[in-house]
Amino acid sequence: MDIGIDFGISNIDVAIKMKGEIRFYTFISSDESISDKFHDVINKLDIALPEIKNIAVTGGKSSDLPDVFRSASITKVNEVMAIGHGAKDIYSIQENAFVVVSAGTGTACINYQDNNFHHLGGISVGGGSLQGLANLLINTSDAHEINKKAIKGDKGNVDFLIGDVVNNIGGLDGDITASNFVKARDDKNYNINDIAAALTNMTGEVIGTVAYLNALLVGVTKVYFVGRIPLLKSVRDAIDQRLGLAGVSSEYKPNMEYANAIGALAYLHGKI
């Protein structure tokens, strides 16, 4: 039995390879030490400890863990490698060059080129930002609740759209945002659903813009997404709208939220 563990800021994701199949688990991250987090996760998995052969860890301060747990070896995997290997495994990517955007609590962009993974950069806007701002503005940090409200809302009641301010800018669709939340500067009485729509839209726009800029930087026209935030339809739609401005396409697949844990396992097994 081999285990991949990703110690994220918000969640701890686990992928267990057992009898040719992979099982997934998620736990809420805590402020405990990395050692305590590790042992808590292992104990919650309800597995036979002697059957563990290898453990691959990534994220957080996992490099501080010992090299052995009982009789199992612990392999420390750089997060860039985990993201890259995870995307390659999930999407069965064959291209010689590609870009992966890991959109979780924050956002990171990874490029595969010349048989190596490279960190193109990252931004602090992601799911954590969305949840924090939503908690301040609409009194909920539950991502699924935010998404439900956003789908019912209208961002145009809070944002200025291109169509509100000009007739045409280089052929841009009138539904593209000209300025986020600008209408809120003159009024405080806004519908919660409209605020949620503006929040998820802004989050997706930022992620999508960074994604297409990095894709164009390295000369590719598709971005592979991993992480949890694109699971929210309202955010994913905003990401895709931004990508569309630059003629860049996206791809999303099941289990993309477990990419880092999957990537740690793939690294363990020498996949590239």
Higher pLDDT, 257 or 186: 257
223-257 confidence digits (pLDDT tens):
999 999 999 999 999 999 999 999 999 999 999 99
How many other CB atoms are found less than 10 A from the CB of residue 194? 22
All structural domains of the chain, each given as residue ranges with its CATH number in brackets, are: 2-76 (3.30.420.40), 123-253 (3.30.420.40)
Q: In degrees to the nearest 10, what's the CA dihedral of 112, 115, 116, 120?
A: -30
Which phi and psi (to 5°) does residue 94 adopt? Answer: -115, -10
**Section 104-115 average pLDDT:** 94
Per-residue confidence band for 80, with pLDDT thresholds at 50, 70 and 90: very high
**Section 90-105 average pLDDT:** 95
Measured distance CA(39)–CA(62) in Å, rounded:
12
114-173 confidence digits (pLDDT tens):
889 999 999 999 999 999 999 999 999 999 999 999 999 999 999 988 877 776 666 667
pTM for this predicted structure: 0.92
Percentage of the residues of the chain whose pLDDT score is greater than 70? 97
Mean pLDDT, the chain, rounded, equals 92
Residue 271: what pLDDT? 52
Residue 272: what pLDDT? 42
Residue 171: what pLDDT? 63
